[in-house]
Structure 1
Amino acid sequence: MFIHGFEGSWWEHPFWRTRFLLTDPDDLQKLRAFRGGVIVDLGRSQELICEATASEESGAGAAAQDETMLAHTANREAKQAAASFPAEQARAAALVAGALDTVRDTFDDVRLGRAVAHEKVAALVDDISGQLDRNASALLRVLQLKSKHQYTYLHSVAVCTLMVNLARHLKMDDEAVRTLGLAGLLHDVGKMAIPHVVLDKPGRLSAEELELVRTHPEAGVALLRADASLPNLAMEVCLHHHERWDGTGYPHGLEGDAISLPARMGAICDVYDALTSNRSYKEAWRPARALGAMWSWDGHFDRELLFQFMRSISLYPPGLVVRLASGRLALILDNGGRATRTRLLLFYSLVEGRAIAPTTVVLSGEAGSDSVTGFVREQDVAVPIPNIDLYPPMTALA
């Protein structure tokens, strides 16, 4: 059947989407255990019943029903893959335009002490998740195009998107993914308490102004506490997304594992979007440059988690040594204009335990092809790393 929505607060139901086709037996068990109201679209559900009935009448039985569903899924995925990138960017741009209004209204609600419009926020997170399924690259690219004047609001949309994407990459459960999306939307709500003249200042902040800006995590939590229905995780990310792995962050100087995983995720997503966005005091950096800088800031982030973030967006900084699923080591190269493809130099076989002829390849990203699985510290590489230009011309797919 087709689920159209749920009654009550959107984070109280067991799914991270509010509208979806129910096909998984595990999801059916979750639905049976849910004690709230469920809104079912009978029209769309009836279409499935007719398809199943037709399958039974053909004599194919249950196996044919499964094949029919798989065929529909494959056909849908094929159509999605065939959709042109410009069309997906247009779809993503329309989503972002609507998201701007939703986040602005949500921030106003919080600032004025009103309860967050749960269903409106739920619909936005649902739309973001749907676009990630259709074409994540299109949405991430559109979110990099925000103007200086829209930054505070669309930065929240971008962090929400990156948080959802990372949580799904880490295979977190539906409830965690849904709540992390909400946390991303609200992480910077405390900036509503900071004067715009300070937030939009084109030059370097004075010591007094910097101290004022650093009050926004605690100011944000104070605002969020007015809505008792908000999950604690959202407040945790709001309060601690500026903590650093080495304890030099703020507001509490937490160190290492004392910083919760959601807050560490928030820190990475927040900084990455900030670096790749136009700000009042700087131009946007290219994603590869941003990731390179973040990787070089020793002690700033949980390094293992930062690498997983890179895997979630399929981008890596030039010069990083990575391990591939094929059992080879490679040096990441600049990917030029191919923002969704990883370009690298193969130079060592872990299987054979020897250096191999350096070969430049571009990972295709297709199912069954080679992929990045881990990173290797330079001092742990058994042979000298090739000293070459990190920006050679592209050659082959792997």
Structure 2
Amino acid sequence: MDFDFQWLLLGLPVAFALGWLASRIDLRQLQRDERASPRPYFKGLNLLLNEQQDKAIDAFIEAVQQDPDTTDLHFALGNLFRRRGEYERAVRVHEHLLNRGDLPRAERERAQYALAQDFLKAGLFDRAEAAYRALEDTAFRTDAWLALLTLYERSREWDKAIQMAQKLEGAGAGSFASRISHCWCELALDADARGDASAAEEALRRAREAAPQAPRPLVLAGQRLARAGRHAEAVQEWNELLGSNPASFGLVACDYAASAQAAGLAPQARERLRALYERLPSVDLLAALRQLEPQAQARREWLASQLVRQPSVSAAVHLLDETARQAQPLSADEVQALHQVVAQTAKPLQRYRCAACGFEASHYFWQCPGCQSWDSYPPRRLEDD
């Protein structure tokens, strides 16, 4: 059968006309959609960008009333309510979304997550937990688990927090070893508070197992041994802390010195602390070393040398205390070292502070360089308050 090209010639204009008509219909529909877009929505966005939240909320409420089926408007309004602390209104907005039968699954999950955030911010932990649990098999699962972990930590439900952290690790959400270790340490403290020594020891063992490099289990283990009068064992625990996490050793430096003295290990402890102080000088190590030095004159000489090497107010106080105990006047070198410390300490107090924004400056400004306010600097230095 031969094809008649006359039909093709007749069909081309018809096809062109139909295409042109379809494009006009789409253009008119687009124009109608643009005219139908709620102007209060854009007004609300503009007010929000200008940080006028009260007026923005009014505009969004008006937009929702004009177009009650638009979910994005509801989410914007609910988030505004939550940010302002109006949690009941935020809950109502998100519950209204969840009660809609025509809401797509993705939007329903989003509304459920927003509702859980409302409950958490409002301090309704039981309702927040239930709302987050409802997101178990959704795209918000990891976010819900992270929120639940924080919730359990805030409510001191350490067993649940450990389980949630382990689930997050198993799901590849990162390492939670440190948080798990802290939870076990909290359980150890709870066990000690109720007199269950075996449970406390087991919890500390699990804490060290969860995060071998964490300092807190060693800190607590040594403190427990020291309270029990087992000072040599406490020193041994803290020696391990000294080797694995020297930056955290200042937390127990004075306790370490006391246990070392009680166990007859003061000379060895003093040598270890001096070596650490050479690398990481700190106020706590300084106090511990003073505690371990038996000779008064040696303490004074060492404090004076450290005051020159590492000026600090605490070192100055220790030196003045030793001077008062020995009832001997300060030497010229000691006076010079103390003058240097006092001058350095006084510098931050010789500033002016803006009452509007807190900007500090050594020079008095009539107009604040930070917030541009006039006459916002009180004519008194911080040292005068």
Normalising by structure 1, we get a TM-score of 0.23
Which has more helix, going by share of residues?
2
TM-score relative to the length of structure 2: 0.24
Relative to its length, the structure with more strand (as a share) is 1
Which has the larger Rg?
2
> Quick one: higher RCO (CA 8 Å, sep 6+), 1 or 2?
1
